[in-house]
Amino acid sequence: MDVERLASQRMLRIFLFSILFIILISSIDPIAVLILGKPFFGDIEYRIIGGELVRVYSLSPTGFITLLLIQNVGIILIALKVLGINQFISLFPRERADVFKRIFIFSLFFALIAHLISITYSMLVSLLQEYTGFELYYTKILGKQIYLALKLGPLFWFLTFISVAILAPVAEELIFRWSLFGFLRLRGKTFNYAAMLSALIFSMFHFDLLYVPIVFILGFILAYLYEKFGNIVVPILCHCFVNTISLLILIFI
DSSP string over 77-114: HHHHHHH-HHHHHHTS----HHHHHHHHHHHHHHHHHH
Three-state DSSP class for 46? strand
Could you report the per-residue pLDDT of 12-65, keeping only the tens digit for each? 999 999 999 988 887 765 555 555 555 555 555 555 555 554 445 566 777 778
Q: What gap in Å lies between CA 114 and CA 122, rounded to an integer? A: 12
Q: What is residue 189's predicted lDDT score, i.e. its pLDDT? A: 94
Read off the pLDDT of each residue in 134-148 and give the average, rounded to a whole number: 59
The rounded percent of the chain whose pLDDT value lies above 70 is: 77
Q: What gap in Å lies between CA 54 and CA 51, rounded to an integer? A: 9
**Model-level pTM?**
0.83
Q: Using alpha carbons, list the distances in angstroms from residue 56 to 49, 90, 116, 148.
A: 10, 44, 34, 19
Total domains in the chain come to 1
Q: What is the identity of the amino acid at 111? A: A
CB contact at 8 A, 108 and 241: yes
Banded model confidence at residue 128, pLDDT cuts 50, 70, 90? confident
Could you report the per-residue pLDDT of 147-201, keeping only the tens digit for each? 677 777 788 788 888 998 999 999 999 999 999 999 999 999 999 999 999 999 9
Q: What is residue 31's predicted lDDT score, i.e. its pLDDT? A: 58
Instruction: Residue 178: give the domain boundaries.
Output: 2-252
Q: What is residue 207's predicted lDDT score, i.e. its pLDDT? A: 66
Residue bearing the bigger pLDDT, 182 or 251: 182
Q: What is residue 47's predicted lDDT score, i.e. its pLDDT? A: 52
